[in-house]
Structure 1
Amino acid sequence: MDNIEATRQYLKSSLEISGAIASALDDSGSRLEILSRKCQSLEASLRPICTQDFSFLDMGDRIDGVLCSAAAVLKVFDAIHPLENSLLADPSSDLCTYVSDTKKFEEALKLLTDNCTLALGWLQEILELLQDKAVVSNEFSLLNVKKSLRILQELQAMEEDAHLDGGLLSAAFDKLEVEFKRLLKANSLPLPLSPLTSSINQQTTIPALPASLTGKLQAIIERLHANGRLDRIKSIYVEVRGMNARRSLQALDLSYLEIPTAKFEDIHSIESHIEQWGKHLKLVANHLLEMEYRFSGKIFEKIGADAWKGCFAKVAIDSKILSFLQFGINVARSKTDPIKLLKLLDIFSILNDLRLKFNQLFSGEACEEIRTVTKDLISRVINGACEIFWQLPAQVKLQRPSSPPSDGSVPRLVSFVTDYCNELLGDTYKPLLTQALEIHLSWRNEAYEESIIFAQVFSIVKEIAVNLDAWSKAYEDITLSYVFMMNNHCHFHNLRDTMLGNMMGDSWLKAHEQYEDYYAALYLKHTWGKLLPILNKKDILSVAVAVSSSDMAKRLNTFNVAFDEMYKRQSNWVISDETLREKVRKHIVEGMVPSYRSFMKNYSLTMENDEKAVKCTKYTEQNLEKMLWSLFEMKITKYGSMKQVHFISKIKQMSAQLFTLATTV
């Protein structure tokens, strides 16, 4: 109860205090309302003054910013002056320092421009504030701001002028271009190319670019590239290296690259140039262009592949690579001819050898023109070679209406075709022809078979055989046709151990050997065999009966007339093979001379006392034998050396009309 009473008293006292506080708060609220109204009135009266103070405070901050930027401008401006004298000097004396100072000058001018731009922005705003007469009317301050603004604008213009033609930085870049050209020319020496080098495939040493020179050239390129002058430096590089490439080519006789297109119609007239072209193209690609590829890649490697490959492509064109390719295209465009097939295969071989090198050198967009011309050349070579190959049997057949040789020798066409087939089947051309046919058929989505070449060569030989049969029937003198067939069968028989002979087989060779003997026997029977009965006529000699001298003289005269006529007729006939020629002459001598000797012995006995009979003796035994041994000799002045000559040398002496293919079959 005591506690409850004490609590009641505490609560009563608290209520009394709360009432007193509430009364005091009521009095304070009235006073705060009065103060609030007074503050609002004061605020309205001080607002213009507060606004003016804030504007001056803001302008002070901006002036501080201008001072900082202007101070930086002055420091940069002071740093530029020492660099000016360095850039006016000759860069060749100390290129590294010159390039470094050029870079410093660029950076200083850029910093100057940046700070000028910042300060100009601040000053422009301050000028606008000062020009507001509601803020301040201090003309002296206004003039100073305008003057400062003008000075900064002039400093900013310095950087722009330095880059313009005639400006200090522009002049420095010009000097670097001159120095780049000087260094490049001083280290650009013609590559020692020579006809001797190309003929023996000697490796030409490609000079290496000194590291110190590379560094200098790269420093110049990097500096000029950063200032938009890469195209100019590339032009200088192409000019110098292109001229150096042309100087390197002066050691080679490349006049054949300028041969008019019309002269390519006769493949024989440019045959030697094709071989020369192949040697020179390999020399240019493997040495000259390889060197330029390395040089441009090394010098421009920090700029990027597009830059150096573009330069290399232009230098390659200056090295006449397009002229080389065009020469090959002109050969492929020339009139169809069997020799052209071999020449196209030669070109194909050269291009095949250079395939990897071309892929290395001429990759990338910059070399697109060179690659396009190269693809065109390859396409023309393969298509042209295969077209001629497929036409060969038909073109042999086209020669059938021509006349056989008047001396019964082996026709040039036969010698040409057999040698030609041996070339196609040889180790040099057969792999090339196989590869060309594989590519050609793949373009037509057809498969290549090994038997294709053999079947085509067999067709050629078959057409030659039909031609020989037709030509043998063209002779009016059948005995000459025997000589003709004997010659040609001997020619085919002699193909043993050749590519063509091995392909045709032993039975084919033996058949020609048998036909050779067969026609030799027919020749002997129908020519000299007809003279023997005159000499070998049986005479009945006895003691009681004597042969009349007039009969013996008549027989000798008949023999002389027949011998003279036959010898005269056959004196222009030819047996081409020396072994066959000796064999036939031996048979003639062995058949005629003993009979003539026996006859003349009897004749001498019969006409011993008859002076007129002595006059009928026209030939001695020795003279007759000598004349027979002189038959069928090759006429060197007409046909050239009797020895076998190389195929290529032989076809050079042939008439341009020999086995020339028609444009269409």
Structure 2
Amino acid sequence: MIWDRDPEEASKYLKAVHEVQLLTENLGGLHLDIEDREHDVLLSRAYSILQMAMARLEEEFIHLLIQYQQPVEPDRMSFRSSEEDSVDDYSFSSFDEEQVEGRIHGDSSRGSEEFVIDLVHSCAIFDLKRIAEMMFLANYDKECCQAYISLRKDALDECLSVLRMEKLSIEDVLKMDWTTLNCKIKRWNRMIKVFIRVYLVSERRLSDLIFGDLSQSVRDSCFVETSKSSILQLLNFGEAVAIGSMQPEKLFRILDMYESLADLIMDIEALFPEEYGACILLDCHEVLLRLGEYLKGTLNELKNAIRTNTSNIPLVGGGIHPLTKYVMNYIRVLVDYNEILNTLLEDQDRKNQCSPSEDGGRSSCLNSSPMSDYLKDATSILESSLETKSMLYKEDSLQYFFKMNNVCYMVCKVRDSELRIFLGDDWIREHKRKFRQHAMSYERASWNHVLSFLKDEGIWNPGSSTPSKTTLKERFQNFNLAFEEVYRVQTAWIIPDVQLREDLRISISLKVLQAYRTFMGRYSSYLDGVRQRDKYIKYYPDDLESCLLDLFEGSPKVLHYPRRR
């Protein structure tokens, strides 16, 4: 190839081609009055030479583009990430405490995703530019542009392949299992930023460098035709995802898709001029709209999933139901996307008028935003579902215990996270009151029966100054049996929240120990000298206090023998 040899030879060749071009132009511009056969032959010969020269220049142009094309190096831009190897599935079982704590909403900062690279080595740009100008001068602009577009389209296709973005039909995407699709969406979210902010920006720069002294329309049309198929390939994937089934576990990954594309809209608008790139801009906005509709539908699907979550088996021990954990940890992650979700929900919820507050209105605004309304709806539906699930327990005490645990869990999740900003302090106060009311109802249902044996009523014989020993024996004995039964059952129950567990133990201890001390102090002496006294007065207050510390640990225990001092 000429440009592989001496640069001076390439310059001479271009000069010679230019002379042929000028000769052809001059011959073609002559207007002879009579037919001149010699002129026609000369003109035909000049055109033939020019055509051969243009074909040779096209070959040289293609050769230079290929020879000096720079390899795609995604590792330089930190495209590969350890995050890509650990894919969250956001399924019902994935929202454990530790996993949620470590789940960070990916930001849209530009960082390594935004810089210009040389797609073709800089040493070849001058020669490519000279060849392009010569071909345009000779009216071979179409051939030059077609050669450029064809090669650069292939280069961008190769770039997508290296970035591991394969071509997928809508059917391919719809048939994928969620684990596979989840991984591909995560890669798409990272890759589209790199592709647009690095490769397409660099592709635009290359077009400007080579066709820079030609018209703006040439630069624009070459770039648009070069990049159109690759950007549409990316958008087609987004469209395919947006028409898939709406499932809550997909929401966060597709929120990332929406955020990525929304963040890139201005970049895309800057790259693609409206005259040539209108269809691309329209497709971008259409895919963004469809993703938004998908997200709104999935948010509604989440509420339906909470509402229709059914189970015929009560949770052992009355602890935190998996649905409660899932929903509360799910919405904790949801608030990281509050700006997007407020925008999406605004057209189907009321537009809120925010009153000023001490923090400039921020808390008040968030507390009455579409996002806030949605979260209140979701937690309300969860409470209704928990109420239904509590009815699976036969014992009233365990029904209240279960609701106490779950509402307390909800309060803690709201109080200790940004959910507090959206649900507000009034919500927290109201639900604190609820779980405390459930705790009081539990205490009455569990312990009123036990404490009923420590009442004075019915102990004294009519007309006697001494209590009935038989009745006292029965009372102490029945108290022992009732206490031991509660102990046996409720050591298997569990309160995960340490503070709630401690508070409830203290409350029970105050009631039980005070009543037992009073009853024992008042009547134990009447059983002095009674045969097998320890059979009736089995426990001292300290023994009961120690027993009460075993409650709610989720480990069933049985009191076989009286505790001795």
With normalisation by structure 1, the TM-score equals: 0.61
* 1:127-276 matched pairs, under 5 angstroms: 152=38, 156-157=40-41, 159-161=43-45, 163-164=47-48, 168-194=49-75, 196-197=78-79, 201-202=111-112, 205-207=115-117, 213-249=124-160, 252-254=163-165, 260-263=172-175, 266=178, 270-271=181-182, 273-276=184-187
- C-alpha distance in 2, partners of 1:384/1:88? 54
Q: 1:479 aligns with which of 381, 387, 397?
A: 397
SS in 1 for 2:323: helix
- Code of the residue aligned with 2:174 in structure 1: it is A
* 1:6-17 matched pairs, under 5 angstroms: none
1:535-555 CA distance string (max 9 Å, x none): 999999xxxx9x999x97x99
Q: Work out whether residues 315 and 321 of structure 2, in 8 Å CA contact, stay in contact via their aligned partners in 1.
A: yes
- C-alpha distance in 2, partners of 1:285/1:623? 72
Aligned to 2:286: 376
Report the Cα offset of residue 288 of structure 1.
0.7
- Code of the residue aligned with 1:160 in structure 2: it is S
- Code of the residue aligned with 1:449 in structure 2: it is N
2:340 aligned with 1:432 = yes
Report the Cα offset of residue 264 of structure 1.
5.8
Q: 2:224 aligns with which of 313, 319, 334?
A: 313
- Code of the residue aligned with 2:44 in structure 1: it is E
* 1:40-119 matched pairs, under 5 angstroms: 94-109=9-24, 111=26, 118=32
Identity over aligned residues, as a percent?
24
Report the Cα offset of residue 431 of structure 1.
1.9
Q: Call closer, same or farther: CA 1:100–1:263 in 2, change over 3 Å.
A: same
SS in 2 for 1:202: helix
Q: Call closer, same or farther: CA 1:627–1:293 in 2, change over 3 Å.
A: farther
Q: Call closer, same or farther: CA 1:583–1:273 in 2, change over 3 Å.
A: farther
SS in 2 for 1:290: helix
- C-alpha distance in 2, partners of 1:634/1:608? 38
* 1:500-649 matched pairs, under 5 angstroms: 500-528=419-447, 530-531=449-450, 562=482, 565-588=485-508, 628-633=548-553
Q: 2:406 aligns with which of 481, 484, 488?
A: 488
RMSD: 4.9
1:480-530 CA distance string (max 9 Å, x none): 111022113323443336554455544443343333333323323433554
- C-alpha distance in 1, partners of 2:505/2:167? 51
Q: Work out whether residues 3 and 60 of structure 2, in 8 Å CA contact, stay in contact via their aligned partners in 1.
A: no
Aligned to 1:29: none
- C-alpha distance in 2, partners of 1:89/1:261? 46
SS in 2 for 1:475: coil
- C-alpha distance in 2, partners of 1:465/1:396? 10
Q: Call closer, same or farther: CA 1:111–1:347 in 2, change over 3 Å.
A: closer
Q: Work out whether residues 607 and 614 of structure 1, in 8 Å CA contact, stay in contact via their aligned partners in 2.
A: no
Q: Work out whether residues 206 and 291 of structure 1, in 8 Å CA contact, stay in contact via their aligned partners in 2.
A: yes
- C-alpha distance in 1, partners of 2:421/2:369? 17
Q: Work out whether residues 112 and 159 of structure 1, in 8 Å CA contact, stay in contact via their aligned partners in 2.
A: yes
1:82-116 CA distance string (max 9 Å, x none): xxxxx99978653222111111123335556777x
SS in 1 for 2:74: coil
- Code of the residue aligned with 1:483 in structure 2: it is F
Q: Which has the higher contact order (CA 8 A, sep 6+)?
A: 2
Q: Work out whether residues 68 and 121 of structure 2, in 8 Å CA contact, stay in contact via their aligned partners in 1.
A: no
Q: 2:318 aligns with which of 398, 401, 408?
A: 408
Structure label with greater radius of gyration: 1
Report the Cα offset of residue 569 of structure 1.
3.5
Q: Call closer, same or farther: CA 1:257–1:232 in 2, change over 3 Å.
A: same
- C-alpha distance in 1, partners of 2:505/2:180? 41
Structure 1 gap ranges (5+): 1-86, 123-148, 636-665
- Code of the residue aligned with 1:294 in structure 2: it is R
Report the Cα offset of residue 282 of structure 1.
1.1
2:246 aligned with 1:336 = yes
Q: Call closer, same or farther: CA 1:261–1:410 in 2, change over 3 Å.
A: same
1:22-63 CA distance string (max 9 Å, x none): xxxxxxxxxxxxxxxxxxxxxxxxxxxxxxxxxxxxxxxxxx
Report the Cα offset of residue 192 of structure 1.
3.4
- C-alpha distance in 1, partners of 2:142/2:27? 28
- C-alpha distance in 2, partners of 1:607/1:300? 114
Q: Call closer, same or farther: CA 1:483–1:272 in 2, change over 3 Å.
A: farther
Report the Cα offset of residue 329 of structure 1.
1.7
- C-alpha distance in 1, partners of 2:3/2:332? 75
Q: Work out whether residues 198 and 283 of structure 1, in 8 Å CA contact, stay in contact via their aligned partners in 2.
A: no
- Code of the residue aligned with 1:238 in structure 2: it is I
SS in 2 for 1:354: helix
Q: Work out whether residues 91 and 175 of structure 1, in 8 Å CA contact, stay in contact via their aligned partners in 2.
A: no
- C-alpha distance in 2, partners of 1:311/1:402? 64
1:533-578 CA distance string (max 9 Å, x none): 66999999xxxx9x999x97x9998677655654453354332322
2:261 aligned with 1:351 = yes
- C-alpha distance in 2, partners of 1:114/1:459? 80
Q: 2:190 aligns with which of 279, 282, 289?
A: 279
SS in 1 for 2:70: coil
Q: Call closer, same or farther: CA 1:286–1:529 in 2, change over 3 Å.
A: same
Structure 2 gap ranges (5+): 82-108, 354-367, 461-465, 556-565
2:312 aligned with 1:363 = no
Q: Work out whether residues 222 and 303 of structure 1, in 8 Å CA contact, stay in contact via their aligned partners in 2.
A: yes
